[in-house]
Each structure stands twice: as C-alpha cells, then as structure tokens.
C-alpha cells in the first residue's frame, strides 16, 4: 500500500504538479510525517474547541450573575447629607424609610430639609397599573439628582397593611437615592416583593459609600512627672480628668413587612395587584369570598390539579396570568403551576 502511494507521488512530481498524499499515506507532505502527525493536529483542534466552550460558559455565567444585581437610574445626589419632609399622616413611614437607607450606606438623613418630600397626593401620569399606591418623581440632569417627591395615593396607599405602607415608602425612597427596579426577587427594590436585603444595601453603598467609621477613642491623658526633690518641697499638680464619652444615638430600625389580607371578588375577576407586603411562601388567611395566596407544593402541572375555581399569577408588571375553570380554554393564559411559586387561588 505504501509503495503505491510513493509511486503516485513520484509520477505527479514529474508532471510538475503538487500532490499531497491522503491521511495515512507515506508522503512527507503530511505534517508530522504520517499518522502520529495527524493525531497531533487533532489534539490541538480538540483543545482549541474545548477552550472556546469554556470561555463561552464563563461569559454566560457572568451575564447571568450581573443580570440579577442591583440596578441604577443613572443619576445620584452630589452630597451625602439629605434633608427630607413628610406630611404628618406619613411622617413615621418617611422616618423609618430614610433610617433604613442611612443605616446601610454613607448618607445622612436630616429631618426637616427640602431635598426629598413625601406627600399624600394623587399620582401623576403615567400610572403603571390600576391601584398603584405610590410613585417617586425625580428632578435630575447631567447624572445629578436635585430633588425628589414621593407621592402616596390618598386611597390605594392607605388600603395597604401597616407593613405594606412602610415598605412602599422605603421602596420609593430607594428610587430617590438613584436605585432602579431590581430583578432579584423578594428584596426592597423589586417591584413586587418588598423586604430589605444585602442587594439593596450594596446598591446604596455603590452610590454613596459605606457608613462612616466611628471616630477612634482619644488617647489616654499623660500624668505629669513630679519635680525632682529640692530643699523646698514643690507641690505636684493634679492629673487632668479623662474626657467624658458621649453616647451616639442608635439609628431607628425599619419595620419588617407583614402579610396583607387576600382580596375579595368574583372568581372570574382578577384579584388586586399584590401589595409590597405579600411574601411568597407564606399562606394568607382566606377572606370571606374564598381567595387565598398560597405557595404551590404539589407537582408541576396544569392549574386544574388544585381542584379550585380559579388561579391567578402576577407577572410583576401589573398583568395577570389566569385560569378559571368555568371559562373556555382559549381565555385561560395560565397553563401550568410550578412548585414553590405563590398563586392567588379561589376555592370552589
């Protein structure tokens, strides 16, 4: 076999044409001089392809990780001391919200200033969804925030629970600092679930730095040395009294959100938009109309598995996926229930 290849090589060379023997031949034109050279080429090719796959996976992991981090509006205050005022009916909510953000970052909240105002007024358009309880309106330009007004709807804001009202104000104050909505679930800056977390703190620290470190304690006073003995006794002056420590007042602790009652209404009507206090995984007591907010613990499958009249799932943007047992199939947009997710369910 090798001899035939050699003969063909010689014949082509005599005609003045270049010819390379196929892989496995004996021609010196093959890199490496035969099968061992081919294996080397293949090994290099496989290593290169594996390297490409590795870096593609690394870039994908980085993209996934950054997509679930805090997000910024693109503007911030050019100072760390921010004054705020609030209507009397919501003053406590504003105090707790400003204390929450000041407690994790380098800002200082000063009650009585005019940088941030929290007022009870009708919301300005555009309104994201019906029943929206609050909004923040920023005055900004050139990457700098100069004023922020938080508006609390006179009706919908006060229809929330106590914890829901506190969380709504704290969420809007986060926008006033320059934080946008986050995709991380169950945190303060997520548009659907309000609970203060490390991701919220990381965003505030990114904008305004960490809390200022406490001042070091003053050095201990030095006792004066007595004069050497002399024929006449010299009185030794008394040592100065040590400085008195001044207590630093503790920052107020934000109120943790609690659950709000489920809505009422007919089985075919969508329940109201979940309030900030609704936390997945916690069952809320049903109202007289039969609505419950529950975490599905069954297998993944169609909504009819719950043996209930209707199932609703909020998409977090003001719209609902729904399944109503008495409606035609083409009207239902919720096709399956996932274990561990929270659903509004109405019993039969």
pLDDT tens-place string over residues 167-221: 999 999 999 999 999 888 778 898 876 788 888 989 999 999 998 755 456 566 5
Same domain, 53 and 120: no
Closest CA to 107 of 207, 196, 194, 197: 207
232 inside domain: no
Q: Higher model confidence: residue 238 or residue 166?
A: 166
Question: Over the stretch 144-169, which tens digit does the pLDDT of each residue have?
Answer: 999 999 999 999 999 999 989 999 99
Same domain, 181 and 267: no
227 inside domain: no
Kindly report the pTM of this predicted structure.
Answer: 0.46
Q: Looking at residue 44, what is its pLDDT?
A: 85
Same domain, 115 and 52: no
Contacts of 225 (CB under 8 A, 6+ apart): none
Same domain, 187 and 87: yes
**Which of 208, 239, 271 is the C-terminal boundary of a domain?**
208
Provide the token pair at 95: 């105090």
Same domain, 103 and 46: no
Q: What CATH number has the domain bearing residue 146? A: 3.40.390.10
Same domain, 95 and 197: yes
DSSP string over 219-269: PPPPPPPPPPP-SS--PPPPPPPPPPP-PPPPPPPPPPP---PPP---TTS
239 inside domain: no
Can you tell me which residue has the tokens 């050699």? 6
Same domain, 188 and 96: yes
Same domain, 90 and 200: yes
Query: What one-character DSSP code corresponds to residue 30?
Result: S
**Which of 193, 208, 223 is the C-terminal boundary of a domain?**
208
Same domain, 204 and 85: yes
247 inside domain: no
161 inside domain: yes
**Which of 45, 67, 89 is the C-terminal boundary of a domain?**
67
304 inside domain: yes
Q: Looking at residue 230, what is its pLDDT?
A: 56
177 inside domain: yes
Question: Over the stretch 102-147, which tens digit does the pLDDT of each residue have?
Answer: 999 999 999 998 999 999 999 998 888 889 999 999 999 999 999 9
Q: How many structural domains is the chain composed of?
A: 3
- What domain range is 347 assigned to? 259-348
Q: Looking at residue 209, what is its pLDDT?
A: 93
Same domain, 127 and 193: yes
217 inside domain: no
Q: Higher model confidence: residue 343 or residue 263?
A: 343
Same domain, 91 and 167: yes
Same domain, 56 and 126: no
Distance CA 228, CA 98 (A): 60
């Amino acid at each position: 076999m090798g001899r035939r290849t050699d003969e063909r090589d010689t014949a082509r060379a005599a005609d003045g044409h270049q010819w390379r023997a196929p892989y496995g031949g004996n021609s010196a034109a093959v890199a490496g001089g035969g099968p061992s050279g081919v294996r080397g080429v293949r090994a290099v090719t496989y290593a290169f392809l594996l390297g490409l796959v590795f870096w593609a996976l690394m870039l994908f992991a980085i993209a996934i990780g950054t997509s679930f981090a805090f997000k910024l509006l693109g503007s911030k205050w050019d100072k760390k001391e921010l004054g705020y005022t609030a209507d009397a009916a919501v003053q406590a909510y504003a105090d707790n919200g400003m204390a929450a953000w000041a407690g994790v970052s380098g800002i200082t909240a000063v009650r009585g200033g005019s940088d941030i105002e929290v007022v009870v007024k009708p919301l300005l358009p555009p309104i994201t969804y019906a029943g929206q309880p609050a909004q923040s309106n920023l005055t900004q330009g050139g990457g700098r925030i100069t004023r922020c007004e938080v508006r609390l709807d006179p009706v919908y804001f006060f229809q929330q629970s106590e914890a829901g009202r506190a969380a709504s104000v704290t969420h809007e104050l986060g926008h006033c600092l320059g934080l946008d909505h986050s995709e991380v679930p169950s945190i303060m800056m997520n548009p659907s679930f309000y609970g203060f977390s490390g991701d919220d703190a990381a965003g505030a620290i990114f904008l305004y730095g960490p809390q200022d470190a406490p001042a070091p304690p003053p050095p201990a006073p030095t006792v004066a040395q007595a004069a050497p003995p002399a024929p006449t006794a010299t009185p030794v002056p008394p040592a100065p009294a040590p400085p008195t420590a001044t207590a630093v007042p503790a920052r107020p602790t934000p109120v943790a959100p609690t659950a709000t009652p489920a809505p009422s209404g007919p089985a075919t009507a969508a329940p109201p938009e979940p309030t900030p206090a609704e936390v997945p995984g916690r069952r809320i007591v049903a109202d007289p109309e039969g609505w419950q907010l529950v975490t599905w613990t069954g297998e993944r499958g169609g909504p009819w598995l719950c043996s209930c009249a209707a199932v609703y799932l909020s998409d977090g943007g003001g719209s609902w996926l729904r399944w109503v047992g008495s409606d035609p199939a083409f009207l239902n947009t919720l096709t399956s229930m996932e274990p561990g997710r929270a659903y509004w369910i109405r019993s039969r």
